[in-house]
A = this chain, B = another copy of it.
Amino acid sequence: MSRSEFDIITHYFSHANLGFAAEGVALGIGDDGAVLSGTGDSALSMSMDMLVGNVHFPASAPARAIATRALAVNLSDLAAMSAKPLCFTLGLAVPELNEPWLKDFSEGLSEMAQRFHCPLVGGDLTRTAPDAPLTIAIQVHGLHGQSKPVLRSGAKPGDDIYVTGKIGDGALALLSLGLKSRLDFSLSKPIDRLSSEAKKYFYEAFYQPEPRVGLGLALGNSINSSIDISDGLMGDLGHILKASNVAAVIESESLPYSDYALDMVSKQSCLIAALFGGDDYELCFTASSGSERKIKTLAKELAVEVTKVGKIVEGSGVSVISGQGQVLDMSNQAYDHFRETAA
């Protein structure tokens, strides 16, 4: 006997591993909507991302991996705003009712939800056409305590520019998974000769990007602007510059690449991957030079690598400077879901 939508939601999505209680959530799954209350005067940030099979992830990927990635990229937005995860909602349009798949998907969500104390509180489950891609909408909600939301618009000339972790891995991960990347550089090491360790590293970089929630929260009032790197440093830093009406100089030699990236492709390709690749879900933020010591201390305490990669200046646009002080010609463009397929 087939289960009804109602039964499926109850069975796979409202159990205690996923729909657990949390302070500030007065009512979770099971009514016309969820109810938040008791959050006092805290500002509430919320962010929605939509992920489509074979656009944002391979449709054939394990359900658990799709789930962890889907929630991680949303939590990354909360990290960028310096919000503490509160809860999330899920809209799921599935081409078929595959219960083992739903079970695995639910387990992947549960893992991330528990790690970040961010329960599922509601949403919608529906069926799409049998040949249509799986489509996931996730909205995350986060609270601001004493610190204000960190926006894209606060960068000031003189600010240092930082990134967390390694950048460029997201795009290289696509290649290492044998998937099409929009970046057309050739591999210095054929994919089938990558070590299993390297393959595992890139697999996790793609499917389990680490949302920098703890650091984002800690940085709060010490930084001036922030964004998460989903479309490549050029594009995302570009959003900060536009919102703040400033320009940036990036020192290419300072960009942090992983050893796996440097082993896989040339250093020039690492640069392209970092600037134009996307899918890194690291933070890019700016802060006055007076905050450098505090930022480094916090990063050390939280064991998150933070690298200073450039400066905010007056003007507009991003200049990338080589180790020899020359401006590099970067005629590529940041990733854009529409532009890339436009004629």
Contacts and interface: CB of A to CB of B under 8 A. Distances in A.
Contacts of A4: 336, 338-339
A126 to B, nearest CB: 5
A35 interface: yes
A321 to B, nearest CB: 25
Contacts of A133: 128-129, 132
B35 A44 contact: yes
A151 interface: yes
Contact of A36 (B8, B43, B228): B43
Given A6-B336, A31-B151, A338-B3, A43 B37 contact: yes
Contacts of A303: none
Stoichiometry, copies per complex: 2
Contacts of A2: 338-339, 342-343
B338 A8 contact: yes
Contact of A48 (B52, B135, B137, B228): B137
A44 B48 contact: no
B122 A48 contact: yes
A97 B54 contact: no
Interface in A69-110: 77-78, 80-81, 83, 89-93, 97
A47 B32 CA distance: 7
B55 A337 contact: no
A34 interface: yes
Contacts of A253: none
B52 A33 contact: no
Nearest to A44: B36
A142 B31 CA distance: 14
B149 A81 contact: no
Contact of A32 (B55, B80, B124): B80
A305 interface: no
Contacts of A139: 48, 89, 139
Interface of A: 2-6, 8, 26-27, 30-37, 40-52, 54-56, 77-78, 80-81, 83, 89-93, 97, 122-129, 131-133, 135, 137, 139-140, 142, 144, 149, 151-153, 226-228, 239, 243, 336-339, 341-343
4 A-B pairs with least C-beta separation: A33-B47, A137-B137, A2-B342, A37-B43
9 contacts: A6-B239, A32-B80, A36-B46, A46-B122, A54-B129, A55-B127, A55-B128, A93-B135, A128-B135
Given A3-B338, A26-B149, A50-B135, 19 more contacts: A2-B339, A2-B342, A6-B336, A31-B81, A31-B152, A32-B45, A32-B47, A32-B78, A32-B152, A33-B46, A33-B77, A33-B83, A48-B124, A52-B128, A52-B129, A55-B126, A127-B337, A132-B132, A139-B139
